[in-house]
Amino acid sequence: MKLDILAIGAHPDDVELSCCGTLMMEKAKKKKVGIIDLTRGELGTRGTVKIRAAEAAAAAKIIQADMRLNLNMADGFFQNNEENQRILIQAIRTYRPEIVLANALSDRHPDHGRAAQLIVHACFLSGLQKISTLSIDKNKQAAWRPKYIFHYIQDRYSTPTFVYDISDVFKKKIKAIKAYTSQFYSSKSETDEPQTYISTPQFLDSITDRHRMLGKMIGVDFAEGFIAEKMIGINSFNAFVQKET
C-alpha cells in the first residue's frame, strides 16, 4: 500500500495528541494515511502493553487510518542507530509516503526529540539506492525518500511554520485521544491506577486550549501546528486564499 501521509510517533498516542486531526482532514480528501508507532509505550505508568495496543487499534479506527504498525523499539531506550534506522527505512520503503509527520524536535519526553532525529535520518537514508533492504516477500526494496517531513508540536510549545485547520474534525480528534482510557482522564479510567501528568482532566483541557490558540492564529476554531526544517515553495497564491467568514 502506498501512502500519501505517514505519521510516526515514539509512543502510541503521540499521533493522536498532536496530528491526527490533520490525518482525518486529509483522509476526507481521499488521501491514504497511516500511522507508525516506534515503541509499545511499555514504560508508561498506567496501563499495559496489551491494553495500549487495543487502545491504539481503537483510535486508528476512529481516525480511519489505512494502516497502523508498531516497530517494537525499546520505550525509553531506543537509539538513533543503524539498527533502528534500517527498521524504519524498511517501513518507509514499504509505504512510500509523500509526506511524513514526525515527533517534535525537542520536548519534555526525551524519546520525542530522539525519535524526531531517527525519523529525519531514516527518511534521508531511505532515498539512497546503495542501502539494501528486503520486503516481506524477500524482494529487494526500491529507494524512497519522502518529499517533506513536518514536525508536530507536542508538550512544549514551538512557533509553527504553518498551522492546519482541523475545526471540522476536532471533536473526533478528542474521541481518538480518549480511546486511550488507560492514559487520559475518563470515567472509564481505572481508579486504582497512579495519577500521572497526562491523566488529569486539566491535561485534556490544555490540549483543547492549545488547539484553540493555534486556530486563533488563522481565524478558525481549532488547528494543529507543524514545523518544517525544509523551505516550502509555492507556485500559486491560491494556497493562501481562505473562504470568507
pLDDT in tens, 116-128: 999 999 999 999 9
**The pLDDT of residue 19:** 98
Q: How far apart are CA 19 and CA 154, in angstroms?
A: 9
Residues 225-234: pLDDT tens digits? 999 999 998 8
User: Which CATH superfamily, name and number, covers 5-229?
Assistant: LmbE-like (3.40.50.10320)
Set of cell numbers at residue 210: 492549545
State the average pLDDT over residues 98-126.
Answer: 97
Report which of 171, 159, 173 is spatially closest to residue 225, judged by C-alpha positions. Answer: 159
Provide, rounded to the nearest whole percent, the portion of the chain with pLDDT above 70: 96
Q: Domain spans of the chain? A: 5-229
Q: How far from the centroid of its chain's Cα atoms is residue 107's Cα?
A: 14
Provide, rounded to the nearest whole percent, the portion of the chain with pLDDT above 90: 80
Give me the amino acid identity at 63.
Answer: I
Q: Given pLDDT bands bounded at 50, 70 and 90, which one contains residue 245? A: very low
Could you count the other beta carbons within 10 Å of the beta carbon of residue 211? 24
pTM over 0.75, yes/no: yes
**The pLDDT of residue 130:** 97
